[in-house]
Structure 1
Amino acid sequence: MNALQNIDPAAALPGSDVLHWLTNDTRDQRFIDNIFAEMCIRLQQAGIPVKRATLHLLIHHPQWLGARIMWADGMHEAEIARVDYDVRGRSEYIGSPANEMYDGATEVHENLERDPSLGRKHAVYDEMRAKGLTDYVAWPLHHTLGKRHMVTFATDRPGGFEDAHVAGLLKLLPVLALVSEIRMKNRLARTLLETYVGTHAGELILAGATRRGSGTTVRAAILICDLRDFTRISDNWPRDDVIDLLNDYFDAMSEPIVRHGGEILKFIGDGLLAIFPLSQPSACANLLRAVSEARQAMAVLNENNSVTGRAPLHYGIGAHVGDVMYGNIGSRTRLDFTVIGPAVNMASRLETLTKQLGRTVLLSRAFADLVKNDFELERVGEHPVRGFNEPVELFAYHG
C-alpha cells in the first residue's frame, strides 16, 4: 500500500497550494532549476519538511550524459552539476539510488535513522546521515516516449516523512514531469542549435528566422581553415583514429575562435568556416588572436601525437573581410544557415593559395589594412586569385 492509499480522500494533502502554483504560475519561468528551487521552498512553507532535493535529468548533450539539479535548505537557487558519459562505470553511480532507478525501480525509500548495517550500502546514504538527514525517497520522473528521469527528497525531521508528506510529494510528480520536460526540451533545442549551427545563428532560428531565402547582409571577417593531406590520412589510418584526430584538430582550432568572439558556421570535412562580425569591436584583431592561440594548440597536439608515432598535422588558413549574405539557404525541406558571397569565396581561395605559397596563414590586403598597425605581417606580393579579375595583394601572418 502506498502513501496515497493511506490518506483520507477528504483530507487536503499538504502541498496542494504548491501543486496549483506548479500547474498555473510557472509558465513565465524559463529555467527548470529556478522552478525546482522555488518549489522546494514552497513545500517547506506548506509544511512538508524537505531539507534536500535533487532532480536528475538525462539530457544527452554532446559533452555530458545529464545534469543534477540540487537544492538544500537555505538555498535560494539550485546548484547544477554536469554528469559525464562515463559515470555509469564509476563507484559514485554503481549501487546508488540513480542506478536503482534507471534499472527500473519505481521507488527508493530509505530510513536513514536505522542501523546503517541494515540499510542500503552506498556513500550517498552515509553522506546524508552525516548531515543529519533522517529519511530519503526517490521516484522516477516520466517524460514522453519512455524517457525516465529521477527526483529525490530528504528530510531531517525525527521519524522521517509522514505518509501525508509522501502523498503530497507524489501528487506533484506528474505536473513536475510536464513542467521539467517542457524546459528540458527548450534547452535541448537551444543546445542542439548552438552545437550544429552556432550560438548566434541558433538564436536567430529560435527567434523565427526559418524561412528559406531569408537573411541579412553582414560585414565580417571571414576565416576558412583546411587540414593538409587529409585524404592520405583517412585512407591509411583506422577509422576511429581518424575521428579522434579530427576532433582533436577541431578542438585546437575552434576553442580559440569561440573564445575571441568568432562564430563557427560549419565544418566541411576537414575544414571549417567561421566569421567575426565587424559589429564587434576589434573583430579582425580578434581573428588573428584566435589564429595565434590555435597555432599554439596545434603545436601541443602535434607534440602529443609524436609520442604515439603520428606524423604532425599541417593546415592552411585564409582570412578576408567583406560583406556576406547571412541566412537560410537550401532546398524546401533542408536548410543551411550560413554565409555566402564573394568575400567568402576570396577567403576560400586564399586558404588554397597557402599550399602554393608555402605560408600557413594568408590575409587579403583589405583584411591586412585593418590590423597592420597592431600585428607584424609579411607582404608576399600580388597574386592571381581564381574567380577574380585582378591580382590580390597578400600578406602572411606568422604570430
Structure 2
Amino acid sequence: MTAPDNLAPTPADGVIDWLTNGTRDERFIDDIFAQMCIRLQQAGIPVKRATLHVLINHPQWLGARMMWSDGSREAEIALVDYEVRERPEYIGSAAHEIHDGATELRERLEQDSSLGRKHALYDEMRAKGLTDYVAWPLYHTLGKRHIVTFATDRPGGFDDAHIAGLKKLLPVLALVSEIRIKNRLARTLLETYVGSHAGELILAGATRRGTGTTVRAAIMICDLRDFTKISDNWPRDDVIDLLNDYFDAMSEPIARHGGEILKFIGDGLLAIFPLSSPDACANLLHAVTEARQAMAALNERNSGTGRAPLNYGIGVHVGDVMYGNIGSTSRLDFTVIGPAVNMASRLEALTKTIGKKVLLSRAFAELVEKEFALEHVGRHEVRGFNEPIDLFAYPE
C-alpha cells in the first residue's frame, strides 16, 4: 500500500524532526530559519537563498523580512514600513501575489525572461545565477498568512523530491514560527504601551495587583499648554497630528537618553530616569535640551501653515517612588506613585504662574548644579506640601 503524498519520505524529514523536537530552547525565529536552511542543504535540498516574510503589530512597521543566503550562519532582518504596498518593490512581487490569495508561486528563472513574470526581483535573482524560485503562504492561527520562499542555482531548478520536501516542511515551520512571532509580538506590544522596562517585568510575571518595588528616580512630567482651546477649534485629524508631532519631539530624546515613558495622559506624559544609572539626572536634562530643540523646529514648521506655536511646561523632581501594579481586579496599570510624583506634577503646574517652561526642585538641582547652569527662582508654596520649597529654572 502506497503512503499518502504528505506521509511519503522526503529529503526534508530529518529537518522536520529537528524543527519539531530540536528547537525548544531557541528563542528567535531568524536563528531557527537560518539553521533550517543549512540543514536543508545538508539533507540534499539545494537551497541557495530563502526568505521569511512576517506581518507584525508595530506602530511603525508593517512587517519584517528575514533573508538567508548560502554560506551564512545567520538571516538578515529588514523591517518593512506600511507604505511598501504602494511601491514598485511590492507591486507585482511574489509577496503581492501570495497576499492576494495565491497558494503557490513558482518561477523558472532559467527560461527566457520575456516569458516569465515581470518584476525586478526575478531579474536580480537571474543575475545572481539562480535557476528556480518558489513561494508559499505560511498559515498561522485564524487564517493569518505569512510568506516563505526558496530559491536554488541547481541546473534545472528544484526537482519533484525537493519540492515535496519543502512543502512537507511548511506546516511544522508554521507552528514553530507562530510561537516565536507571537512571543515577539507580545514583547513589542508591551514595549509600545507600557515601556521596555515595565514590559520586561510584566513578561517575567509581575502581574499581581499591589505588587511592586521602590525605585529611586528622577521624575519628569510634561504638559502641553492651551490644549483644550486647540482641541475645541481645530479639526480632529489636525489635533491628532499635532499631538503625535508633539509627543515625537518630547519622547524620542527621553528614550535616547535612557528614560522610560510610563504613560501619556491626554496631552501630557510621565517619564522616569531610574537612579540606578549614575548619570540619570544629567541625562534627563540632556533629554529636555534636545526636546526643546525639537519643539522649536516643530513650531517653525507649523508657522509655515499658519498654526500658532505650541507651548509646554515641564516639572522635574527626584525621590523614591512605588513602581508596580495598581488598579482593579481585572484592569491594571503599571505605573509609579508617591509624593515624589505629586511634587513633579505640582512643579509642572507652577510653570504657568512662574513663567518658566522647566521647573526643578532643589533636591534635583543639587544633583546637577555642577554640570548645568540653573536659575534660582525663589521659594514657593507648592500645593499639598507644608513648607515652601526652593525652585530652579532650566534656562533656555
- Mapped contact 2:6–2:168 kept (Cα < 8 A): no
Alignment match, 2:182? 185
Alignment match, 2:330? 333
**Distance of 1:245 and 1:333 partners within structure 2:** 33
Change (3 A) 1:379 1:9: closer
Alignment match, 1:23? 20
1:7 Cα offset (Å)? 9.3
Residue type of the alignment partner of 1:340: I
Q: Deviations over 1:243-272 (max 9, x none)?
A: 111111101100111111101000000000
Residue type of the alignment partner of 2:298: L
1:69 to 45, 66, 71: 66
**Distance of 2:68 and 2:342 partners within structure 1:** 52
Q: TM-score normalized by structure 2?
A: 0.98
Secondary structure of the 1:398 match is coil
Alignment match, 2:255? 258
Residue type of the alignment partner of 1:214: T
Change (3 A) 1:9 1:203: closer
2:145 to 141, 145, 148: 148
**Following superposition, which runs of at least 4 residues in structure 1 exceed 2 angstroms of deviation?**
5-12
2:216 to 219, 233, 236: 219
- Mapped contact 2:133–2:151 kept (Cα < 8 A): yes
Change (3 A) 1:124 1:6: farther
**Distance of 2:256 and 2:281 partners within structure 1:** 14
1:60 Cα offset (Å)? 2.6
**Distance of 2:8 and 2:168 partners within structure 1:** 14
1:8 Cα offset (Å)? 7.6
Bigger mean CA deviation after superposition, 205-214 or 83-92:
83-92
Secondary structure of the 2:213 match is strand
Q: Deviations over 1:124-160 (max 9, x none)?
A: 1111101000000000000001101100000000000
1:53 to 47, 50, 54: 50
- Mapped contact 1:6–1:163 kept (Cα < 8 A): no
Query: Alignment RMSD, CA only?
Result: 1.3
2:195 to 194, 198, 210: 198
Residue type of the alignment partner of 2:188: T
Secondary structure of the 1:370 match is helix
Q: Does the alignment pair 1:353 with 2:333?
A: no
Q: Does the alignment pair 1:241 with 2:258?
A: no
Q: Deviations over 1:330-365 (max 9, x none)?
A: 001100000000000000000000000000000000
Change (3 A) 1:251 1:387: same
Count of aligned residue pairs for this structure pair: 395
**Distance of 1:277 and 1:317 partners within structure 2:** 18
Query: What pairs with 1:1-399 in structure 2 (closer than 5 Å)?
Result: 12-399=9-396
Secondary structure of the 1:18 match is helix
Identity score, percent:
81
- Mapped contact 1:7–1:167 kept (Cα < 8 A): no
Residue type of the alignment partner of 2:308: A
Structure 1: gaps spanning 5 or more residues: none
Q: Deviations over 1:36-94 (max 9, x none)?
A: 00000000000000000000101131101000100010111100111110111111111
1:10 Cα offset (Å)? 8.7
**Distance of 2:380 and 2:197 partners within structure 1:** 35
Residue type of the alignment partner of 1:357: I
Residue type of the alignment partner of 1:78: A
Q: Deviations over 1:100-146 (max 9, x none)?
A: 00000000011000111111111111111010000000000000011
- Mapped contact 2:57–2:189 kept (Cα < 8 A): no
Change (3 A) 1:78 1:215: same
Residue type of the alignment partner of 2:222: C
**Distance of 1:12 and 1:146 partners within structure 2:** 28
1:12 Cα offset (Å)? 3.0
1:11 Cα offset (Å)? 6.1
Change (3 A) 1:117 1:6: farther
Secondary structure of the 1:318 match is strand
**Distance of 1:287 and 1:25 partners within structure 2:** 46
Bigger mean CA deviation after superposition, 349-358 or 10-19:
10-19
1:282 Cα offset (Å)? 1.2
- Mapped contact 2:68–2:76 kept (Cα < 8 A): yes
